[in-house]
């Protein structure tokens, strides 16, 4: 019996371009993610970081040892209990087995970047289907190892989204075989959860999304505005209401059309891509918008692209017309599909739950997750301003100089820069400080590093006002920021108007004759 006749449905003959975009696009974002980690992980989470990974690993080990001891005293099954405890303490990471050092972190990033670059230029895709599979699984495992120990600095939805997408596109095969339809459909399912989950969290969350006023504020109060955020904020209110309506349509209606026949599916993907491009233009959301664009392209058909761009040489990336997927490859893809569908039961129920979780993982390996963003919108922008002085901090005449961050608003005259898809982790977490507890342990240690004039920490900033010298004291204040009006901008040249609110952390100094201050 000819097995190829039984599995003729398995091959998605209209998805060669979609596969190429998915593989190269996700690999490019892995490259950005590993580069961001290489540049920022060590001062944030390294051996001498603000939240050191070695301390985390020791704490997890101690907690598990105590759990085993309690289990032994209680006569319970130690192995089963230890495994259960471990799930609550730490995700899968190579650093648990190897131990963490900054040199090993650099090695992980270097290998990840090399693998990502190879896929971007298309090398693994020229070989058998298992070759790009192994490349993506390696990138997934390496980045999952980083996210699992990244603590609050890696607590963003796009981290788990990159892990899930990286695992999924591993099973798209190479140019030796047609794109497998089950994997392509799973990509549509991921985009559906990503968009519909974000839409539902908004409808269930802030009233501003329901009364269409959310974008009166969001362009101004988002974590890291971009160069055009002010212009977007100053658009008429009727336009902002249209924006919200368009957002609801794109996130609550269009995702269902991803499963419709062509060309409806391609039109749905184009709508999602267009809305994400507007978000790219008006803000800095790391790679969240970019990865959504790449994944949405998975629903675009080759025929639609060739109709729109007839000179595009799609044949250069197509599988041979007589190519068929071998039985072992079909078996692997179907097993993975069954696994993803089984794991999808929790995210599916979460979509329709009154207590919907946002950016939550339901398995240790971040294979199928729940997503969402900005379920609530802040109405005012409060910034934490960090300052230092070389004078006596108790002298009212002491000159306090502001530390400048790379992406976070500071100097009222500075136009925000475009950083996305690159992720500035310190700048993003600074936005959360006024919304919660200002005396976060990592922030207190950050102030301590400034007092020490720690070179690695200062590299995270745009400008050190003391040129590598130690300040005598540092402090943190809060200020209210808003975008200047057009008239205010013409008169003063300022992008922001700011008003002081108060002192968040009073002046602190290193203890006399001590190298470190105990700020805990």
Angle at 168 between CA 92 and CA 342, to 5 degrees: 75
Q: Decide if 391 contacts 472 (C-beta within 8 A).
A: yes
Per-residue pLDDT, 12: 81
| Helix, strand, coil share (%) of the chain residues, nearest 5 | 55, 10, 35
Prior bond of 421 cis (ω within 30°): yes
pLDDT over threshold 80, residue 519: no
In this predicted structure, the answer to whether residue 320 has a pLDDT above a threshold of 80 is no
User: Sorting pLDDT into bands at 50, 70 and 90, what band is 84?
Assistant: very low
For the cut 60, the answer to whether the pLDDT of residue 21 exceeds it is: yes
Q: What is the pLDDT of residue 1?
A: 43
Contacts 24+ apart (CB under 8 A), 121-129: 122/20, 122/24, 124/174, 125/20, 125/23, 125/174, 125/175, 125/317, 126/174, 126/175, 127/174, 127/176, 128/174, 128/176, 129/173, 129/174, 129/176, 129/177, 129/325, 129/329
Q: Smallest Cα–Cα separation from 430: which of 415, 447, 416, 413?
A: 447
Q: Which segment of 312-316, 386-390, 456-460, 512-516 scores lowest on mean pLDDT?
A: 512-516
Among the residues of 90-169, which ranges form H helices? 94-98, 102-120, 130-149, 157-169
**Top-confidence residue, 62 or 89:** 62
The lowest-confidence range among 103-117, 296-310, 338-352 is 296-310
Dihedral sign from CA coordinates of 445, 502, 220, 229: negative
Q: What is the pLDDT of residue 314?
A: 74
Q: Which residue in 157, 168, 188, 381 sits closest to 289, CA to CA?
A: 157
Helical packing angle, 16-45 and 130-149, nearest 10°: 30
- At residue 76, the pLDDT reads 60
pLDDT bracket for residue 515 (50, 70, 90): very low
- Beta-bridged to residue 499, according to DSSP, are 480
What letter does residue 180 receive in the DSSP assignment? B
Which H or E element spans position 241?
A: helix 237-252
Residue 281 has which token pair? 């233009």
Residue range 407-412: mean pLDDT, rounded:
95
Mean pLDDT of 262-272: 95
Angle at which helix 16-45 crosses helix 425-432, to 10 degrees, equals: 70
Mean pLDDT of 59-77: 78
Tokens 């790391």, residue? Answer: 286
All residues at 6 or more sequence positions from 307 whose CB lies less than 8 Å from its CB, including other chains: none
Mean pLDDT score of the chain: 91
Q: Which residue has the tokens 């969240």?
A: 288
Whether the predicted pLDDT of 520 surpasses 50: no
Backbone angles phi, psi at 180, to 5 degrees: -75, 125
Residue 64 binned pLDDT confidence (cut-offs 50, 70, 90) = confident
Tokens 């974002």 locate to 29
Which of 82-86, 229-233, 295-299, 364-368 is predicted least confidently?
82-86
Tokens of 501: 């609110």
Burial 246-272 (b: 16+ CB within 10 A, else e): ebbebbbebbebbeeeeeebbebbbbb
Is pLDDT of 242 > 60? yes
Q: Where are the alpha helices (DSSP H) in 150-234?
A: 157-169, 181-204, 207-210, 218-221, 229-233
Q: pLDDT of 204-239, one tens digit each?
A: 988 999 999 999 999 999 999 999 999 999 999 999
Residue 263 three-state SS: coil
pLDDT tens sequence across 451-487? 999 999 999 999 999 999 999 999 999 999 999 999 9
CA distance 62 to 46: 20
- What's 442's DSSP letter? H
């Amino acid at each position: 019996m000819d097995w190829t006749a039984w599995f003729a449905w398995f091959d998605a003959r209209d998805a060669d371009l979609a596969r190429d975009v998915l593989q190269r696009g996700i690999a490019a974002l892995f490259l950005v993610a590993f580069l961001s980690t290489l540049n920022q992980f060590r001062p944030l989470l390294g051996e001498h970081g603000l939240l050191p990974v070695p301390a985390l690993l020791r704490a997890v080990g101690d907690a598990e040892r105590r759990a085993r001891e309690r289990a032994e005293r209680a006569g319970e099954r130690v192995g089963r209990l230890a495994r259960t405890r471990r799930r609550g303490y730490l995700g899968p990471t190579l650093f648990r087995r190897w131990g963490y050092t900054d040199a090993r972190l650099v090695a992980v990033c270097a290998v990840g970047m090399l693998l990502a670059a190879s896929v971007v230029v298309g090398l693994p895709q020229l070989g058998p289907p298992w070759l790009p599979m192994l490349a993506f699984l390696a990138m997934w495992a390496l980045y999952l190892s980083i996210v699992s120990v990244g603590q609050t600095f890696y607590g963003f939805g796009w981290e788990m989204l990159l892990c899930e997408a990286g695992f999924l596109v591993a099973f798209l095969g190479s140019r030796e075989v047609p794109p497998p339809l089950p994997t392509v459909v799973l990509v549509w399912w991921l985009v559906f959860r990503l968009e519909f989950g974000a839409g539902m969290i908004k409808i269930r969350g802030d009233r501003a999304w329901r009364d269409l006023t959310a974008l009166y504020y969001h362009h101004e109060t988002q974590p890291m505005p971009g160069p055009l955020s002010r212009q977007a904020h100053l658009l008429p209110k009727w336009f902002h209401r249209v924006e919200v309506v368009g957002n609801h349509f794109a996130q609550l209606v269009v995702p269902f059309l991803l499963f419709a026949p062509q060309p409806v599916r391609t039109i749905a993907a184009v709508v999602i891509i267009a809305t994400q491009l507007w978000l790219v233009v008006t803000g800095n959301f790391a790679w969240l918008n970019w990865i959504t664009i790449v994944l949405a392209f998975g629903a675009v058909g080759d025929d639609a692209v060739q109709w729109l761009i007839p000179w595009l040489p799609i044949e250069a990336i197509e599988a041979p017309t007589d190519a068929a997927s071998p039985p072992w490859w079909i078996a692997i893809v179907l097993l993975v599909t069954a696994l993803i569908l089984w794991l999808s039961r929790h995210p599916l129920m979460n979509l329709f739950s009154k207590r919907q979780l946002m950016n939550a993982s339901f398995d240790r390996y971040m294979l199928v997750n729940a997503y969402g963003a900005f379920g609530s919108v802040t109405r005012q922008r409060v910034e934490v301003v960090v300052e230092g002085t070389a004078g006596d901090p108790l002298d009212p005449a002491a000159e306090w100089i502001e530390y400048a961050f790379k992406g976070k608003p500071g100097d009222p005259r500075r136009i925000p820069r475009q950083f996305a898809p690159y992720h500035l982790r310190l700048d993003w977490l600074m936005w959360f400080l006024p919304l919660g507890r200002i005396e976060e342990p990592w922030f207190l240690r950050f102030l301590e590093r400034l007092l020490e004039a720690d070179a690695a920490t200062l590299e995270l900033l745009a400008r050190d006002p003391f040129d590598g010298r130690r300040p005598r004291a540092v402090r943190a204040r809060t200020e209210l920021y808003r975008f200047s009006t057009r008239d205010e901008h013409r008169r003063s040249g300022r992008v922001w108007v700011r008003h002081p609110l108060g002192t968040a952390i009073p002046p602190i100094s290193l203890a006399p004759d001590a190298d470190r201050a105990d700020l805990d």
